[in-house]
Amino acid sequence: MKESEILAELTKIRAVITDSHVVYTSGKHGSAYVNKDAVYPHTHLTSRLCRAIAEKFLAKEPEVVLAPAVGGIILSQWVAYHLSELSGKEVLGVYAEKTEDGDGFVLRRGYDRLVAGKKTLVVEDVLTTGGSVKKAVETAKKAGADVLGVGALCNRGGIRAAELDAPELIALLQVKLDAWDAADCPLCARGVPVNTDVGKGREFLAKKAAAR
């Protein structure tokens, strides 16, 4: 799939939203949003996107696909499925779960043994700061995995492979999002209504109302 085709498909299902007034998780404001949760209900599109990731890493012969839970689980299954179909060899799909303190990831359910010594591809839907993926990469390496790289649906943070401690990073879509502090937001200054359907717009408005 070409990047222009991917962008068109994601815009059609409102997975990529532009010309809006969005409040991000960080608290900053912007005019665009990548809504990964809008992708997964569309199973055929999800499959096609994951096949595109699989094709880009096929030559490296991954044996396991690993993703951070929760959203990435769907990607790990589909990418592993397509790698298996394309290579004619079984490729396993596993996931890392958050630790009890939520500060890192751990491989449970015997998945640590499945990745040990195996060529492993780490996948994620949207890269913003890259923090979760970096921790997933670290977890895989601690279990003895040979991490081949990271595959992502969308890189919206301009993240580089080195920032993830990965040898390679391939994202199907690069999206640059402007972000402003609330006090400096030109959309607020113009009175553009805040989008309450995605992001943290609803919380922002509630907090603003409470402060009055």
- From first to last of the 212 residues of the chain, give the pLDDT tens digit: 889 999 999 999 999 988 899 998 888 999 988 888 999 999 999 999 999 999 999 999 999 999 998 878 999 999 999 999 999 999 999 999 999 887 889 999 999 999 999 999 999 999 888 889 999 999 999 999 999 999 999 998 889 999 999 999 999 999 887 889 999 999 999 999 999 998 899 999 999 889 87
The residue behind tokens 């402003």 is 180
What's the structural domain count of the chain?
Answer: 1
Q: Is residue 210 part of a domain?
A: no
Q: Is residue 211 part of a domain?
A: no
> What's residue 48's pLDDT?
97
Q: Is residue 65 part of a domain?
A: yes
Q: Is residue 161 part of a domain?
A: yes
Instruction: Identify the CATH number of the domain in which residue 175 sits.
Output: 3.40.50.2020
Q: Which residues of 88-99 are buried (b: 16+ CB within 10 A; e: fewer)?
A: eeebbbbbbbee
Q: Is residue 144 part of a domain?
A: yes
> What's residue 106's pLDDT?
93
Q: Is residue 204 part of a domain?
A: no
> What's residue 1's pLDDT?
84
Q: Which residues pair with 91 in a beta bridge?
A: none
Q: pTM, whole model, 2 decimals?
A: 0.86
> What's residue 146's pLDDT?
97
Q: Is residue 205 part of a domain?
A: no
Structural domain boundaries, residue 85: 3-197
SS (H, E, C) the chain: CCHHHHHHHHHHCCCEECCCCEECCCCCEECCEECHHHCCCCHHHHHHHHHHHHHHHHHHCCCEEEEECCCHHHHHHHHHHHHHHHHCCCCEEEEEEECCCCCCEECCCCHHHHHCCCEEEEEEEEECCCHHHHHHHHHHHHCCCEEEEEEEEEECCCCCHHHHCCCCEEEEEECCCCCECHHHCHHHHCCCCCCCCCCCHHHHHHHHHHCC
Q: Is residue 45 part of a domain?
A: yes
> What's residue 156's pLDDT?
86
